């Protein structure tokens, strides 16, 4: 449980880097969720909560991208290196192997 708690906070710091509002909001939500369930004794429920927390960490790490308003009608996206993938060209006809 503690390992996952720390992992969520490390992911939060990486995903929301330089965004103090998002960093604080994520910190409060993580701490609140773990605090609300600290007295849980059912092994089944604990495993379910751990699975949810693990899924949240994966979604944060793989799906969240930062954006900054630069003008009234422009937004600049700031992708992290681990989000960038090689571009696979589209082919109308699949190649045969």
**Can you give the pLDDT of all 97 residues of the chain as single tens digits?**
899 999 999 999 999 988 899 999 999 999 999 999 989 889 999 999 999 999 999 999 888 888 888 888 898 888 887 777 777 777 777 677 6
Give pLDDT, residue 81. 76
Phi, psi of 18 (to 5 degrees): 70, 10
Q: What is the pTM of this model?
A: 0.73
Q: Where are the beta strands (DSSP E) in 1-97?
A: 66-71, 74-78
């Amino acid at each position: 449980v503690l390992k996952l708690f720390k992992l969520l906070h490390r992911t939060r710091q990486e995903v929301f880097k330089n965004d103090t509002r998002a960093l604080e909001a994520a910190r409060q939500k993580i701490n609140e969720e773990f605090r609300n369930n600290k007295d849980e004794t059912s092994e089944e429920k604990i495993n379910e909560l751990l699975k949810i927390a693990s899924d949240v960490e994966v979604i944060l790490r793989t799906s969240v991208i930062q954006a900054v308003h630069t003008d009234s009608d422009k937004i600049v996206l700031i992708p992290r290196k681990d989000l960038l993938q090689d571009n696979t060209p589209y082919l109308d006809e699949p190649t045969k192997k």
